[in-house]
Amino acid sequence: MSAADSLLFSDIPASPDFSIEERLRANGKIAIAGVDEVGRGPLAGPVVAAAVILDPANIPDGLNDSKKLTEKKRETIFDEIVFTSQVAWTSLPAATIDTMNIRAASLLAMTLSVDRLAVNADAALIDGKDVPDGLIHIGKAFVKGDARSVSIAAASIVAKVVRDRMMIEADNQFPEYGFSGHKGYGSKAHRDAIAQYGPCSIHRRSFSPVKQMIEAFAK
C-alpha cells in the first residue's frame, strides 16, 4: 500500500462501528440510513440496493462487509437486521441495466431504497464514491463504507442476501446456467454455458462479454 493509500484508509476501523452515526446524531440527525448495492459486476441478474436504519439500542452483533461473512452468517444476521431495523431494498433487472447503464441503475436503486423506508431518513451514508442525485441533500459517500459504518455494513448484507436469493430462484428457472453457484458473475462455467445455450432473459446484453457471445452465437 502506498503512502497515499495509507492516508486515505487510515481512518478505517478494525471493524465497522457506529461512530459516524454518533457524530451525526449529536448534530440532530436521528434517522440515519446506511445504503449499499450488490451486483454491479455480474453478467446476469439484477442490481440490488438496500437502505437500513439501525436501532442504536439494538444493533445486531457481527455486522461487517457482506463479502467478509459466510453465507450462513449473512443469513443469520439478515434476519436480525430485518427484525430490529427499518429496512428497504430495490432490485432493477437486466433490461433496466441495459437501458440505463449499470452505474445509473445502481444509483437509482439506492435512491429508491431510501425513498421506500417507512421513515424519512435525516442522513444517508452511502458506500462508494458517488452520491445519487436523488440523495444529494442528505447523502454522504464513503469509500469502503461497509468497513467503516455498521449501518452501511447492514445494508450490504441485506442487498447481498436478497440478490443471492433471487439468483437461486433464477437457477430454478434457468438450470442450464448454474446461477445458484456463481450468482451471475463471469465464471468460466457461466461463460461456457452462455457460449453453449446463448443468453437468457436475465443476461445483461449491454455487457461486453455477453454482447460478444451473442454475436458469436448468431454466426
pLDDT at 219: 61
pLDDT digits (tens, 9 = 90+) for 61-76: 999 888 899 999 999 9
pLDDT surpassing 70 at residue 13: yes
Q: Is 210 a residue whose pLDDT tops 80?
A: yes
State whether the Cα torsion 179-181-186-191 is positive or negative.
Answer: negative
For 179-194, write each residue's pLDDT tens digit.
Answer: 999 999 999 999 999 9
| Strand pairing category for 139-142 and 86-92 | unpaired
Distance CA 181, CA 163 (A): 13
What pTM does this model have? Answer: 0.92
Which of 100-114, 144-158, 200-214 comes out lowest in average pLDDT?
A: 200-214
Round to whole Å and give the CA distance between 65 and 16.
8
**pLDDT tens digits, residue range 34-55?**
999 999 999 999 999 999 999 9
Q: Residue 14 has what pLDDT?
A: 76
Summary mean pLDDT of the chain: 92
| Grid cell locating 174 | 434457468
Specify burial of residue 27 (Cβ count, 10 A radius: 0-12, 13-18, 19+): exposed
pLDDT at 214: 78
**Average pLDDT in the 188-214 region?**
92
pLDDT digits 0-9 by tens, 108-159: 999 999 999 999 999 999 999 999 999 999 999 999 999 999 999 999 999 9
Q: Distance between CA atoms of 44 and 211, rounded to whole angstroms?
A: 12
Residue 109 vs residue 195, higher pLDDT: 109
